[in-house]
Amino acid sequence: MPVEITGFAQALARCPDFAAVDPLELEGVLTEATEPLEMEYAGASADSPLIRSGSLFTHVLFVQHGTLAPWQYPYSQLEAPFLIGDHEFLMDAERWVASYSAVTEAIVVWIPVAWMRLVVDRFPGVGEQMHQLVMRRLARFYWTSLATSGTPSSRVAAALVSRLALLGSDYGQDRTISIRQRDLTRLTTMSRSAVADGLATLVEGHAIRLGGDRPSRFSGVVLVPEVDLLKDHAFAEVRDRDIRSLLAQPDDE
């Protein structure tokens, strides 16, 4: 169904990509666009994805209500308000690089690429914010790749750093991470008991502390005194198993 510009700018401005844009100014720019916006209701379905990898990239998708998920690992839940396609937009891609489905009932708005180019041209900060958000997600993928192999402690450490990377705070001291144990099991592809062992090892190594009323038990809050120390634990397996052996190889020349 068609979308009226009035009020849509208010909803779009809630998206992190548009955090620094005044909704009234955004509405003024959107009124200059000529192509129509299209709103769509999407039921939860894995059989009929909203976006198929390899299809033509002509619109950016704004999730106005509900939750979508990409068909890729690590698994993510993209909750409204969320903009999908900023990566393809920044790359000036011709086709989508991933598939997405609604995992709850959702309301989405298809925004023509020409609209986004107009907005980025008028508000350069939007493009910069898009780039920062994309880089955070790419950093998260890097750390999550380390979370799927290695010892329980190295995998849990990498999963925790991946959450910090997504927030743009994977450096410095005294960081706080809120994460459910089931998310740690999913990110590390380990059992709950293995995750618990990994957390215990990190606590013993002073890489983390457990927050909450009972610090001896995991309550969903992890305190990180020094991010570099946590990264050292995350790197332990790949450093000792792969990097050292590569450095030790004799010169073939």
pLDDT at 76 over 60: yes
Buried b (16+ CB within 10 A) or exposed e, 10-27: ebbbebebbeebebeebb
pLDDT tens sequence across 170-218 = 999 999 999 999 999 989 999 999 999 999 999 999 999 998 777 667 8
pLDDT tens sequence across 80-108 = 899 999 999 999 999 999 899 999 999 99
d(CA 186, CA 147): 10
Q: Residue 62 — pLDDT band, cuts 50, 70, 90? A: very high
Q: pLDDT value at position 207?
A: 96
pLDDT tens sequence across 102-125 = 999 999 999 999 999 999 999 999
pLDDT at 36 over 70: yes
Q: pLDDT value at position 231?
A: 94
d(CA 197, CA 47): 37
d(CA 80, CA 65): 5
Tokens of residue 70, six digits: 């990409």
* Contact in structure between 154 and 234 (CB atoms under 8 Å): yes
Q: Report the Cα 111 to chain-centroid distance in Å.
A: 21
pLDDT at 1 over 90: no
Cis amide leading into 225 (omega within 30): no
The mean of the pLDDT values for the chain is: 89
DSSP readout, 177-204?
EE--HHHHHHHHT--HHHHHHHHHHHHH
Strand (E) positions, the chain? 38-42, 59-65, 67-70, 78-79, 82-84, 100-102, 106-112, 173-178, 209-210, 221-226
d(CA 218, CA 241): 29
User: Residue holding tokens 């990898």?
Assistant: 53
pLDDT at 252 over 70: no
pLDDT tens sequence across 40-53 = 999 998 888 999 99
Q: pLDDT value at position 251?
A: 58
Mean pLDDT of all residues in 220-243: 90
**pTM of the full predicted structure?**
0.78
